[in-house]
Structure 1
């Protein structure tokens, strides 16, 4: 009996199991939902923001050409001076003596020229008389042979030759006197030029940013061998300022002279416009940047060297470029860029060519058409030919 009842229970269990398997429904494939964005024209701009410090257009320590004591100094820190304005005057007695000596040398040379000119006149007179006497004796001797002794003719000829030699010597002395005067005048001009260096003038229009010397200070000549020479003042040109920008190597090709930039002064919030004036045209190997300079006019001196500014370089502008979000393209920066396009619910993997990139979007040069739906975000698990449910991305919904 026990064996028979066990068989009945086993049969009932098998029947129940088979009936349960027949009642379970078959699983169905789930269509994944993917976020998409529309390829559409957009205005793209590539702006590079760099920080820089205002510098004077030019700045120099004004040195003295000659050594001397400061007799007077006419400026102080903050003084605005024009070009060629007198900054200081030096007391240099030895240069004054050199000028007086050189002037006396010119006067002596003038006197020597007058003396030489008088000697030339005397020599010309003697030469004329000697020539006339020799001609007369020669004419008489030819007309009346034997009347004039031969010795007198020879003496007259010798006097003529002597007078001619004296005239040549006098002319030579005159030329030497004239050369001496030219040399004396050159020395006088040199002494005067050196004396003018006793008056120290501003090389350009600017403002005095530092004063080194005071009245009575001993100033050494500011030449290359005088490494310890003290400047008189430091002068800076602030009516025009420089901004030196370290442009990264990947943006160097976009830099052009005359390029417009927006300048925002960090401390004041003031916004200005400037232009790229010059660039080094060489990348520094240590920083992989190129120095690019922007000149900023400062006629009212409202900007001070040392202030920081943010400079917005407009490298490129595409007013109506076909573009998609950055995360719609795989392989940006590599040789192969791809995008997943949804057409009639089916994913198509296409190769695209990109152009200008901004912070959010990228220009599409080829591979996509206007209105194409491209999958954005992560593309993990998506394959070519897969059926998906395309839904507008969150930022696309907000934008609409």
Structure 2
């Protein structure tokens, strides 16, 4: 190889080496500060809504039974009819009850006649007793004034007649009391028979709508109090102007339930949100489901709601006005003894323990560990290290749940 060729080859190798070195230098990684989405600790009004699904039930629902057995003479209602309290639903034909009423009325008349007779007897006995007493007094006065003028026998006879008349008066008074007692018994029997006649007229126990009809004209209806037969009701009646929602509240939220609390009722099928009120609760947890039955009353004056519809009920539990809070994804280990959050101070991450309170779907109450205005890392916290310098940027909903850059 000639000196000229060696020089060219050496120059080429030098140029390639320089180019490779430049490429290698350009490809060397640079140390970059990671970007972390952050949010500020601040005050907010927190309220935890418990959403439960329930079915509307009538406020009252009853099978209307007959208290006496008989044949249906007339039935005045059918399915879907709206009735008022006390309105006649049906009448029964019960001939034997009419006979009992007639007998009871005759018994009253007989008792009145017996009282009249007894009263007359009392007056007669009282008059006789008065005459006997007066006669005895006169004879005794003469005998005491003129001794020997009146025989002792006549005085004894007058005294005996007085005693007899007094006994007859007492007997007449006793007979009058017995007659008066018999009249009370006759009145009671008449009241019973009259009540039984009234029972033959079936009336609505409350204002509502007829949901079922079981009997027709001529049907034989057994008494609803009969224990030997399967008594058939006349109709089923439901009160729909006020409906019930029975909610299975989990045991963890039982302590937050109180009567009178307002709730929001979303009726999805109607696209409406109604207002309701917690009216009553069982105050006892069912062991099988670990829930407590809680009832919400929903007014239904227009009849828009129908029993059987489903609704989503929003129970507003444990309101916390103006409390220190952060986004839920800012705290690690929620519900454990190792709750913690990443705080950015002087551009560096610091892991601090915190204590939390009420949790809503988006935010959580901070009881200790943080102060208002602190910048905290939100979103995923994988890869963070204590003391690491970061570039904090305000988080949006999307960036808060994304990985740090």
Q: TM tier, shorter chain?
A: 0.7 to 0.9
Return the alpha-carbon distance in structure 2 between the equivalents of residues 398 and 340 of structure 1: 13
Q: What CA deviation, in whole Å up to 9, does each residue of 1:160-207 have, x standing for no partner?
A: 111111111111111111111111111111111111101010000000
Counterparts in 2 of 1:169 and 1:28: CA distance versus 1, 3 Å? same
Return the alpha-carbon distance in structure 2 between the equivalents of residues 381 and 397 of structure 1: 16
Return the alpha-carbon distance in structure 2 between the equivalents of residues 27 and 244 of structure 1: 65
Deviation at 1:282, TM superposition (A): 1.7
For the pair 1:170 / 2:172, whether they are aligned, the reply is: yes
Q: How does 1:143-162 map to 2 (within 5 A)?
A: 143-162=145-164
1:37–1:396 CA contact under 8 A, matched in 2: no
1:118 aligned residue (120, 123, 126)? 120
Return the alpha-carbon distance in structure 1 between the equivalents of residues 280 and 229 of structure 2: 32
Q: How does 1:59-138 map to 2 (within 5 A)?
A: 59-138=61-140
Describe the SS at the equivalent of 1:214.
Answer: coil
Describe the SS at the equivalent of 1:228.
Answer: coil
Return the alpha-carbon distance in structure 1 between the equivalents of residues 98 and 42 of structure 2: 82
Q: What CA deviation, in whole Å up to 9, does each residue of 1:210-262 have, x standing for no partner?
A: 00111111111111624500001000001111111112222222222221211
Return the alpha-carbon distance in structure 1 between the equivalents of residues 43 and 328 of structure 2: 14
What residue number does 1:201 align with?
203
RMSD (Å) for aligned C-alpha atoms: 2.3
Unaligned runs of 5+ in 2: 1-23
TM-score if structure 2 supplies the norm length? 0.87
1:83–1:202 CA contact under 8 A, matched in 2: yes
Unaligned runs of 5+ in 1: 1-23
Return the alpha-carbon distance in structure 2 between the equivalents of residues 292 and 49 of structure 1: 13
What residue number does 1:9 align with?
none
Return the alpha-carbon distance in structure 2 between the equivalents of residues 232 and 107 of structure 1: 37
What residue number does 1:214 align with?
216
What residue number does 1:245 align with?
247
Return the alpha-carbon distance in structure 2 between the equivalents of residues 224 and 46 of structure 1: 52
Counterparts in 2 of 1:205 and 1:172: CA distance versus 1, 3 Å? same
Return the alpha-carbon distance in structure 2 between the equivalents of residues 256 and 193 of structure 1: 44
Deviating more after overlay: 129-138 vs 377-386: 377-386
* Count of equivalent residues: 376
Describe the SS at the equivalent of 2:354.
Answer: strand
What residue number does 1:305 align with?
307
Deviation at 1:338, TM superposition (A): 1.0
Deviation at 1:325, TM superposition (A): 1.9
What residue number does 2:392 align with?
390
Describe the SS at the equivalent of 1:251.
Answer: helix
